Each structure stands twice: as structure tokens, then as C-alpha cells.
Amino acid sequence: MALKSDKHAVIWTRTKDGPLKMADIVVTPKQTRFSYTRDFIAYDADYGKRFLAGGVSLLAPPHIYKTEQITYQAKDSIPLYPRLMSMLPARNENNIQRRLYTRILEKSAVPPAPGLDTDWEILLLSAHNGIGHLDVFRDDLVAEHYYNDPAQRHLLTSRSAYWKQIQAEIQNTVYDIDESELLDAFGPTPSVGGMIPKILVSIPDTDNWQGEFASPGTREVDGVPYVDVILKIEPMGYEGVLALEALCLDLHRQLGFEVPAFWLSRIDGMRVLAIRRFDRSEEGYPIPMESFFSVFAIGDRYFQSNADTDLEQMAYRIARLGKVANLDVRATQQEIYRRLLVALFTGNGDLHLENLSFLGGSEQVRLAPVYDPAPMRAWSRHNTRFAIPLIFDDELGGLRENMLRLGEAYQFSRRQAENLLEEVAAQTADYLEQVVALEAVPQQNKDLLIETLEKERKILMKEK
């Protein structure tokens, strides 16, 4: 039964051999349905392993589904296929991109109704050349036009209307852009999720970056090589957050984690942090990237939000993924457990299911490198220990005992977990001194982080 409100779209991806249509998709208020194209199935069969190709989700592998239709039943909190949901700019009024896209849509001839209709239009406006390898368009003509007309991909500089508008939004000033200009500036620009304002650009791959940037995908300007980055811009109310994130990225690197290159700088008086994208190959081709949120929500019909799982279950969900995707389950679990320990000792209470992702297609997939390790516990409204709950067994003891027990789910023996905990404690021993030394961070945030972490350390170490 075709409802009047059925929505149609197509998904394409960019391969070494050019743009390729992947799937046709239909969304109704009750479900999302899609099926792969024959061309894509053939391509995936040939190149799936070599080029990290991948389907719409790790749980929808093209070599298994072939042209069979894949159906997802809508839920109140996740009305669209979760993989598409996580391509939408976050639903909070502070999200600059959502605000701007909504403004563009309000001015259109037939503004969409709030809710799913608006989300859908935002997806069609913004979900191409973003994070990962999926490009969503209204139809094939729009897709072909987008790939064939480079002007569509927009030229970004610090003088462009796009940048001036972002700057105005962040500084809470008015930039007098008219509506058609707004669409020109933002229409072809991909959006990124998350709370901190950010844009996708490319910057010179040099040690002393001066804040220049260009459109994503730019490989070179005047002989200088450029790299694709996520550019985070420090918003009001979160002074110092980028300096703290940079400190934690650096710490993770020292502890042997895989961490992307990053650059701290200023542009037009605003503090920025550029982080090299790991969802692009050396040559600039997209690599599939899917968040834990998307994988868990697709794989579990009862799943509604971050709070519908806990840290122990998360380990088992990863093990289940290993049954359908070529994933080193043990290595993935162990790495996550180590990240959880570092999060505890650094005050990153924000390790939620969009801050963990898989990289690659189902035939060759691994955990994405560390990203977004900012110690959000320095802000009282984010001061929680873990975004994903750790279920306590009170009979077992306190945080230390429960954390060590959690290690079993992540394939560490108690002894190994204990050693790891001690190791991370030692490796983060001078972390708070480094926080104190950061000039960009307001005193009250330093104080809160110090107070919180000194207590945590005591609880974590006391039962020795």
C-alpha cells in the first residue's frame, strides 16, 4: 500500500572508477526499505576486500542480501534507518548546521512539516560527501548533476559567505546574508553530527598551519599538499574545550592508541581544532564509517537510545557483529576496554555510541581510531562518569571492582585488567598538571575536573 507520504531517495558512493549508484530507498512513516543495485553488487563482489567498499550498513552486507529488499521498522525515537539518522545534524538548537538548514527549508516554496519531513529534507540537502561513504540524493539526476558539476561542490575560503555565516552564528552576531545566498553557501555543503560546531574542509598538511582552508577534497593549493579534516570551532560556553581535546588526543597517542593528526589554531579570532579524517583514503576516496549507535540500532529492534545498552552488553554486541562481519572481535573488545579506562582517568564521560565507530565494509572492518576524547567532565552539565551505563553489582564492591569485572566481558582476565588499570593510572599521573598548564581553560573548569578526577583516582586505587 503506497502512502501519500512515501519518500524516495537514492544512495550513491564514490569509487576509484567513478560515482556508483548503490541503492534505491523508500521511507514511509512505518518503515525504511532499500535494495542494492546490480551494478553495486557486482562492484562490491570484485572490490569489496581490496577497496574497503561496503554497503549501507555492516548489518546489510551486499554480498548476502544481493537485490533482496531490506526493511527497517520505524521507532518513535529512530524513525529513519539508523545509518541515515546518524548522518543528520544533531537535534539541538545549538547545532549551527541544523539551524541553517532549517532556515533554508522554512523559506522554500513548500516548507516541510517539523519532524520526520524536515529531517528528510535536511538529509537530502546535506548528506553527501560527509563522514563515511554514503551520498544521499533525491534522485539519480540530482546525483549525476552533483558529481558532474564541480561548482556544486562549492569553493570554500575564509572569505566565503559560508564561513562568514558560520562565524556570525558562533559569535552570536548578524551576518546579512540573503536567503538564496544561504542556499548557495550551505546547499552543497555536507553536515557533521555532534555538539561542537564543525565543518568539513581541507587544510595545508604542514606543521605551522596559519588557518587557511579550502573545500573538502582539495589535494593541493599552489604546490602545497592539503589534507581533509574536521574543523571544530570553539563555541561560547565551552572555552578551552579544544585545548583539552588536543591534550587528550596527544595523551592517547603517547599511550599507543591510533590517533589522527591534529592542529590547534585560530581563525578570525576563533579557536579551532582540525583533525585529520580517517574516513578518506590517501587518494581522497571515502572509506565506510558507521557508528556503534547505527550498528546496535539496526541489529536490535528494541534499541532506542544510548541508555538501552550498558558497557557489559556492548562487549557482547561486538561479539555478535563478528558473526556477520569480518572483525577481529577480541582485538576490538580489548581496545575498547583500554579506552574506557583512559576515559575514567581523564574525565571523558562522553564516550557515547556516536563517539565509537567501525571503519570499513563488512568484509574487512575494524575499530576507528580515537576521536572526540575531550574530558567533558570539566563542565558540570556533562559531569557523568560514563555516557553508556556501567551496571554496578554492589556486592562486588565499588568502581574499581566493577570495572575489573567488566574486563572479563572484554576478554581480559582479572589479573590483566588489574595490570591495565595500574598502567593507565601511572600513565595519567601527571595529566592534571598538564590540565592546570592550559591557559585556554577557565579556572572553574580546571577546578571541577581536578576535584572530580582526584576522587575517581582514590576510588579506583583504594582497594589495593
Q: Angle 450-236-182 (CA atoms, 0-180°, nearest 5)?
A: 145
Q: Is 199 in the site for ligand ATP (CB under 6 A)?
A: no
Nearest approach in angstroms of CB 198 to ligand ATP is 6
Of 202 and 357, CB closest to ligand ATP = 357
Q: Among residues 195 and 420, whose Cβ is nearest to ligand ATP? A: 195
228: β partners: 202
Task: Give the SS3 label for residue 372.
Answer: coil
In terms of CB distance, is 25 or 195 closer to ligand ATP?
195
- 44 or 234: CB nearest Mg ion: 234
Distance CA 410, CA 316 (A): 8
Reported in sequence order, the residue ranges of 59-196 that DSSP labels E, i.e. its strands, are 70-73, 135-137
Euclidean distance between CA atoms 194 and 354, whole angstroms: 8
H or E segment at 182? Answer: helix 179-186
CB-wise, 93 or 222, nearer to ligand ATP?
Answer: 93
At its nearest, how many Å lie between ligand ATP and the CB of residue 415?
A: 33
CB closer to ligand ATP, 194 vs 299: 194
284 touches Mg ion by CB under 5 A:
no
To the nearest whole angstrom, how small is the minimum distance from the Cβ of residue 260 to Mg ion?
Answer: 14
Residues 316-375 touching ligand ATP, rule: CB under 6 A, are: 350, 354-355, 357, 371-372
Grid cell of 136 as nine digits: 544521499
Minimum Å distance from CB 402 to ligand ATP? 24
- From the list ligand ATP, Mg ion, none, pick the one residue 353 interacts with, judged by a Cβ distance below 5 to 8 Å according to partner type: none
d(CA 397, CA 181): 60
Question: Which entry of ligand ATP, Mg ion, none binds 277, CB below 5 to 8 A by partner kind?
Answer: ligand ATP
Among 146, 117, 114, CA closest to 130: 146
Burial class (CB in 10 A: 0-12, 13-18, 19+), 62: buried
Contacts 24+ apart (CB under 8 A), 351-356: 351/386, 351/387, 351/388, 352/293, 352/306, 352/387, 352/388, 353/291, 353/292, 353/293, 353/296, 353/306, 353/309, 353/387, 353/388, 354/86, 354/193, 354/194, 354/291, 354/292, 354/293, 355/387, 356/291, 356/292
Among candidates 281, 278, 233, 282, which has minimal Cα distance to 260?
278
Question: Is 200 near ligand ATP (CB under 6 A)?
Answer: no
279 binds, among Mg ion, ligand ATP, none (CB under 5 to 8 A by kind): ligand ATP
CB-nearer residue toward Mg ion: 11 or 336 = 336
Element (H, E) at 101: helix 96-106
Please name the amino acid found at residue 128.
Answer: H
Stretch that binds Mg ion, among 190-198, 218-226, 412-420, 456-464 (CB under 5 A): 190-198
The DSSP 8-state label assigned to residue 277 in this structure reads -
From the list Mg ion, ligand ATP, none, which binds 58 (C-beta under 5 to 8 Å, kind-based)? none
Q: Which does 299 bind (CB under 5 to 8 A by kind): ligand ATP, Mg ion, none?
A: none
**169 makes contact with ligand ATP (CB under 6 A):** no
Backbone angles phi, psi at 403, to 5 degrees: -65, -40
In the complex with ligand ATP, which residue's Cβ is closer, 65 or 371?
A: 371
Residue closest to ligand ATP (Cβ)? 194
Q: Count of residues binding Mg ion (CB under 5 A)?
A: 3
Q: Which is nearer to ligand ATP, 135 or 372 (CB)?
A: 372
**What is the side-by-side order of every strand in the sheet holding 70-73?**
70-73, 31-36, 18-27, 7-15, 135-137
Residue window 367-396: x/- pattern of binding to Mg ion, with contact defined by CB under 5 A? -----x------------------------
User: Does 357 engage in binding with Mg ion (CB under 5 A)?
Assistant: no
Range 262-281, binding ligand ATP (CB under 6 A): 275-279
Q: Which one of 189, 355, 362, 452 is in contact with Mg ion (CB under 5 A)?
A: 355
Handedness of CA 219, 223, 225, 230 (dihedral sign): negative
Instruction: Report the residue number, 34 or 278, with the smaller CB distance to ligand ATP.
Output: 278
> Near ligand ATP by CB under 6 A, which window of 45-53, 110-118, 190-198, 297-305?
190-198
Q: How far is the CB of 372 from ligand ATP (least distance, A)?
A: 3
Report how far residue 119's alpha carbon sits from residue 190's, in angstroms, rounded to the nearest whole number: 14
The residue ranges that bind ligand ATP (CB under 6 A) are 131, 192-196, 230, 260, 275-279, 350, 354-355, 357, 371-372
The residue ranges that bind Mg ion (CB under 5 A) are 194, 355, 372
